[in-house]
Structure 1
């Protein structure tokens, strides 16, 4: 029973095996801080080391596109450039933790959009990994499945994607006395080196099964085709609008952005009252910012409607900037041409310590 909770094998990793046979493999990772490469000790590192040990003659390329404090809403806009254009053969997706605070309907739309983008041409395998946060503990201890994980499993089942319950594997190690809790999650969320190794071991066990000789011998299926989406409003058509197409009023500049490696350019101002506007064709709009305590708030409207003001939380862990944060303006518009207008304002709250507006992404649905 425990194995079934941790490892779910739904389909052979054919693209990965073909890549191994060819002598070149490209591994992709996308998720939040638990998968982010910048700590240098997160779970992808032992998985990468395992690949090199098991397949010493294979040239291995790594595309770790995970960013701390981000969810699948941002990932669906980044997948094309960060993973698909880089021809990844196998992509690990980690958003069970970071999407937990989103409504189920929204996270199902963004996640399914991400998966459909990755799977559409049949040229890469996808594995979903479920990490852990303190809020999952009670339900998992009682044999249940947190809602964010259950939602992802529904998608995995629909698309025949394998999944690994890394959090369940680590929790079981604590239960058996193999690892202390503080060795795993000293802050209730981010693993130490020991906790990351536990996560990695669960993934390695999954890969050893999937890439075994018996599975390798399975004959390929017919040409891959995507099944009908579970949610017709998923974000698979997500695209972005170039910053150069925005009409501005006030002291805006487009800068090459050296402060956050995932952003190539930002449209920046710190001037209260600076404005921008643009038109787009679609049914929704999501904006991405380099955000922090010194960021502005936004006064905005769609299609000459009523003005709204953003109120974005700035948690204690949030710095003055450096958080690639999304802001969903709308996602259920009537498909067609829409106009967006925005003005930079101060948040007028104690936690708002500046008026920096640094727009990195204009995401269209």
Structure 2
């Protein structure tokens, strides 16, 4: 089996515009990128000069200050001084492509970018390939539905849990699934972390810790996931810049062809809608950054935010479609939602977890719905959570009970595939 995988990863059989590509759905360890149809519209614009917009779409690794996002933008500005480069930081920590496909229009497409970097490999690490296919294909088709001249590049980051697969010459499942979509649409992809794996194999890298504790080695990150700016992020940018230089002349400028879908039930029609217009019962408060600390902390996530701590208070909506969810908040003072679909009680959705020592944006989806019209009610559950026990799973303790006393829920955006009905 190992010999087969080694052979598979070493096949280089198709010459395309001056460099090699492989007829597999993965990237070789010795080749960090696949150019496919390139980024011809982007490079045409930066070479001519003038305004060029780049969207960085991903999770916390992309959101990080002085990380690969800012460093790669700086590199591009240095190499294309005539271009007036601007960028959109469309990254949200702790989120994957499943939320990304819903928020794409509001956070990325409204800015009309010329290039979109898509980074969700780490946060999609626990997702099933079928779900990744639906979300990533939905992202691609939404972008090209708006403008078929917008270029897209998939970039893959990594963390310590992904290392065993890569060290065994296998790509992580999330990357494999994303490569299926990249192959289908001719989208270039860059695995920015393969130099990290090479250093690990050579015994020159430590995945997590303080840099001063390992003076003779490269320390990737403090927590094995979120890289240091001058080590992990620097290695990412070196890989990306090398790839970009080699695909500068690949492909022909023009409209991207949109083939038949890779999966027929992809999430191209995903949309995010403010909860402001939904029917409410009971006591709900509209929060603003000037009057509420949570709304102020998350003002870049939610233009509109509701809160209720009244058991039995509810939000109701009707959709004609197959999926529904909520983009909301998890934190110390949160409780849980009780959900009813078409009058049938469903599961409870706790808005508190073992990381909920602070407030952060989060989301959840209901199980896939049958085609048709459905009435959905989200109710503040009266059932309390054992927050001390939940925190104990990560060796956290409650030192200030007042901070955790409330059992509220928040609501910011409705996530649906389908149409919101009146």
Residues matched between the structures, number = 355
Q: Does 1:271 align with 2:297?
A: no
Q: For the residues of structure 2 that align with 1:321 and 1:72, how far apart are their CA atoms? A: 21
Structure 2 unaligned spans of 5+:
1-9, 11-27, 209-218, 289-294, 391-403, 418-422
Q: Does 1:68 align with 2:93?
A: yes
- Helix, strand or coil for the counterpart of 1:65? strand
More deviation in 254-263 or 178-187? 178-187
Pairs within 5 Å for 1:223-234? 223-234=255-266
Structure 1 unaligned spans of 5+:
none
Equivalence for 1:202: 239
Shift of 1:268: 1.5
Q: For the residues of structure 2 that align with 1:81 and 1:19, how far apart are their CA atoms? A: 24
- Helix, strand or coil for the counterpart of 2:338? strand
Mapped contact 2:121–2:174 kept (Cα < 8 A): yes
4+ residue runs of structure 1 moved beyond 3 angstroms?
1-5, 173-182, 218-221, 351-354
Q: Does 1:188 align with 2:198?
A: no
CA RMSD of aligned residues (A): 2.0
Equivalence for 1:293: 332
Taking structure 1 as the reference length, the TM-score comes to 0.91
Match of 2:58 among 31, 43, 48: 31
Taking structure 2 as the reference length, the TM-score comes to 0.79
Decide which structure has the larger Cα Rg and report it: 2
Pairs within 5 Å for 1:124-135? 124-135=150-161
Q: For the residues of structure 1 that align with 2:205 and 2:262, how far apart are their CA atoms? A: 39
Pairs within 5 Å for 1:1-365? 1=10, 2=28, 5-20=31-46, 21-37=48-64, 40-120=65-145, 121-176=147-202, 180-182=206-208, 183-193=219-229, 194-211=231-248, 214-215=249-250, 219-220=252-253, 223-256=255-288, 257-260=295-298, 261-311=300-350, 314-316=353-355, 318-322=356-360, 324-334=361-371, 336-345=372-381, 346-351=383-388, 353=404, 354-365=406-417
Shift of 1:176: 4.9
Q: For the residues of structure 2 that align with 1:191 and 1:125, how far apart are their CA atoms? A: 27
Q: For the residues of structure 1 that align with 2:352 and 2:127, how far apart are their CA atoms? A: 14
Shift of 1:320: 2.9
- Helix, strand or coil for the counterpart of 1:41? coil
Q: For the residues of structure 2 that align with 1:112 and 1:4, how far apart are their CA atoms? A: 27
Shift of 1:69: 0.6
Q: For the residues of structure 1 that align with 2:99 and 2:315, how far apart are their CA atoms? A: 22
Pick closer, same or farther for the CA change 1:119–1:102 going to 2, 3 Å: same
Shift of 1:30: 1.1
- Helix, strand or coil for the counterpart of 2:239? helix
Shift of 1:309: 1.5
- Helix, strand or coil for the counterpart of 2:366? strand
Q: For the residues of structure 2 that align with 1:191 and 1:219, how far apart are their CA atoms? A: 35
